[in-house]
Structure 1
């Protein structure tokens, strides 16, 4: 088919693609050498399974604290929440405001400050009450976070101060507590419940025991399962 004939046989979009391909082919010079196959992800052009696996992650990013997130004994949904939190992708008030979306004027748990993820998980007065209640229950040697570090950096620092056999349990209970604070915040906004530290502490402790019964590794080293 000649270029002059394609208008009556192809759609406008297909005709443009055809013409673009034709232009690219004009500069190709064929030789008598046989064709060869070269794998672009290795220096010698030879395919390997490991180079293919590494190529899958080209351009990807990783969380600085990925081990704290993915190696805890928490369910996958909680780990995914922590990943979103690590890259600041949770829809807190500050993020909603930047995008011009409807949002609450202040943190719904304390009504004292603007809500940001750091504030919600570790800087809010309500959150501090929850952390104090949980840590005094299962890891009294760990100081309550004071807001000077973000959640994952505080957890990383706390893990360095306790015995090895307690570390996975602490990372799991910390993941549960952070996730429960997020869920409680959402229930206050969307279900119109009143914030309650007493009820949230009870929920977290009951969930921790259930996770331990279900086989969450490490939790039985820091909590009493009855």
Structure 2
């Protein structure tokens, strides 16, 4: 067997797996800067053009959901009409959605604070001032405008409940009706009433089980007239209920609607996956117990819920 040549040795070394050390990568990333210019030669997804870090660093799951052919999109092209959103072609898991919101928030801060890009291009003047849907609120997919008032994010409930309600407003809960449309199951009957198709609006508002829960709570608060009806949709009912209240009480109303909707969804999952069910009075007790635990954690506005039990 002959001796390997230097070129062969180099090829063998290149074939060995090489994982850069985290400290060295962090030192390298912090010691370099990317000059954006008009953004045409800076890659949106891979270059460290944001002040904090490159996108794969703080949003690795979102980065994996980007189509391979879209990784070369420039900053200029990506921020024009928010085209970067169209690059996300992978599964919209909870982690991907969470990192998507993080990226959108960083782009908003960066756009407003550190970069107000006005650059000249061959087609005229390019102005990238805000990729934040022109202050109309957060959109989940390109062309999908935010539904409902944005200030529900200030409701005194845990973040997971706000995120759930945000998904529900956009019709992205994995209800039986949606699962059937995706070919994942055949039965579309509501898990709570077993009468009508299980959609988001039906499950949280118009289902006879859900309406009994809402009626009991709102009746004890003297607001039975605001209870959802058989043909109510979640968004319309919620907005109408807020509109009938003084401005000072709307946050408290949100702090009632969000956790009750959350508990109705958990009851649906309990029946679907655990094959256990609670009657409406039992679910009301669970809602009040959970509200008391959250109040102890600092969510004081939820006292509106516990007041209904008095």
Instruction: State TM-score, norm by structure 2.
Output: 0.53
The residue aligned with 1:94 is 177
Give distance in 2, aligned partners of 1:150 and 1:81. Answer: 16
Contact 2:180 2:187 in 1 (8 A): no
The residue aligned with 1:38 is 38
Paired residues for 1:170-209 under 5 Å? 170-209=253-292
The residue aligned with 1:75 is 158
The residue aligned with 2:114 is 49
1:137 aligns with 2:220: yes
Give distance in 1, aligned partners of 2:243 and 2:213. Answer: 22
Contact 1:68 1:152 in 2 (8 A): no
Give distance in 2, aligned partners of 1:61 and 1:50. Answer: 25
Q: Please point out which of 181, 201, 219 is paired with 1:118.
A: 201
Q: Shift of residue 214 of structure 1?
A: 2.5
Return closer, same or farther for 1:94/1:54 CA change in 2, 3 Å cut-off: farther
Q: Please point out which of 55, 65, 69 is paired with 2:148.
A: 65
Q: Shift of residue 143 of structure 1?
A: 2.3
Return closer, same or farther for 1:166/1:213 CA change in 2, 3 Å cut-off: farther
Q: Which runs of 5+ in 2 are unaligned?
A: 1-35, 40-75, 81-111, 118-127, 134-141
Give distance in 2, aligned partners of 1:102 and 1:214. Answer: 39
Q: Shift of residue 103 of structure 1?
A: 5.1
Query: How big is the alpha-carbon RMSD for the aligned residues of Structure 1 and Structure 2?
Result: 3.1
Give distance in 1, aligned partners of 2:37 and 2:151. Answer: 42
Contact 2:161 2:259 in 1 (8 A): yes
The residue aligned with 2:19 is none
Q: Which has the larger radius of gyration?
A: 1
Give distance in 2, aligned partners of 1:48 and 1:172. Answer: 32
Q: Shift of residue 204 of structure 1?
A: 1.0
Return closer, same or farther for 1:187/1:222 CA change in 2, 3 Å cut-off: closer
- Tell me the matched-pair count: 188
Determine helix, strand or coil for the equivalent of 1:218.
helix
Contact 1:105 1:114 in 2 (8 A): yes
Contact 1:169 1:217 in 2 (8 A): no
Q: Please point out which of 229, 232, 240 is paired with 1:157.
A: 240
Q: Shift of residue 107 of structure 1?
A: 1.0
Q: Which runs of 5+ in 1 are unaligned?
A: 1-35
Contact 1:121 1:151 in 2 (8 A): yes
Q: Which region of structure 1 is more displaced relative to structure 2, 58-67 or 101-110?
A: 58-67
The residue aligned with 1:8 is none
Return closer, same or farther for 1:37/1:144 CA change in 2, 3 Å cut-off: closer
Q: Please point out which of 271, 296, 300 is paired with 1:213.
A: 296
Q: Shift of residue 135 of structure 1?
A: 1.1
Give distance in 2, aligned partners of 1:195 and 1:141. Answer: 23
Higher relative contact order (CA 8 A, sep 6+): 1
Q: Which region of structure 1 is more displaced relative to structure 2, 119-128 or 198-207?
A: 198-207
